[in-house]
Structure 1
Amino acid sequence: MKLAMKYIILYVNDFDKTMNFYKEILGLPVKMQHDTYVEFDTGATTLSINTRESIKEIIGLEMPASSVASQTFELGFVVEDVVATIEMLRGLDVPIYKEPVTKPWGQTVAYVTDPDGHYIEICSAME
């Protein structure tokens, strides 16, 4: 069996705030939107958002309301300049969870959070 990651869907509490974060603050282009379901173009894997209420109605999955993300995963975005990206995000009042640091393997990483508290790694490419 060969599996290929095609998309990730984040279930969110505040659609407008989250839409603004990914579209306006992170600058991700919208590929498609239908009501509260949105797909962002991030390259080979699509990042999607939908509301917790909508997913209950559409497919019947229980998505408990939560003000805190489960923190069982993170999203990773590769950028050319981690420090400059973090400073730009700081200027837009994005919560900086971990400041940039260079790891022993040479990669620079930092962490921010989205409006629902999902971890987002901002990192340099692996050399």
Structure 2
Amino acid sequence: MELTMKYVILYVNNFEETIHFYRNILGLPVKMQQGTYVEFDTGATILSINTRDSVREEIGLDVPNVLSDAQTFEIGFVVDDVQATIETLRTQGVTVVKEPVVKPWGQTVAYVADPDGHYIEICTSVD
């Protein structure tokens, strides 16, 4: 069996705030939108959002209304300059969860949070 990751879908509470965050603050182009389902073009893998209500109503998955206090995954974006990216995001009101640090393997890594609290890693490439 060969699996290819095509997309990741985040379930969100505040659709307008979240679409603004990913489209206007992070600058991801909208690839497609159908109601509350939106796909952002991020390269090889599509990042999608959908409201929790829509997922329950249209798909039938049991998605809770409340956000978890404990995150169990992160989304990673590679940039050339982590410090500059974090400063730009900070000036736009984005919550910085962890300031940039250089890891023992040479990669610079920082974390921010989206409006629903999903962790987003902003990092340099590991070559």
- The TM-score with structure 2 as length reference comes to 0.97
Give the gaps of 5 or more residues in structure 1: none
* Alpha carbons 1:69, 1:116 under 8 Å: kept: no
Q: Distance in 1 between matches of 2:104 and 2:16?
A: 39
Q: Which runs of 4+ in 1 moved over 6 A?
A: none
Identity across the alignment (%): 68
* Alpha carbons 1:69, 1:118 under 8 Å: kept: no
Match of 2:9 in 1: 9
Give the gaps of 5 or more residues in structure 2: none
Question: SS at the partner of 1:3?
Answer: coil
Match of 1:78 in 2: 78
* Alpha carbons 1:32, 1:40 under 8 Å: kept: yes
1:62-108, CA deviations, whole angstroms, 9 ceiling, x for partnerless residues?
A: 11011336411000000010000000000001000000000000000
Match of 2:18 in 1: 18
Q: Equivalences for 1:1-127 in 2 at 5 Å?
A: 1-68=1-68, 70-127=70-127
1:33-71, CA deviations, whole angstroms, 9 ceiling, x for partnerless residues?
A: 011000000000000000000011111111101133641
1:99-123, CA deviations, whole angstroms, 9 ceiling, x for partnerless residues?
A: 0000000000000000000000000
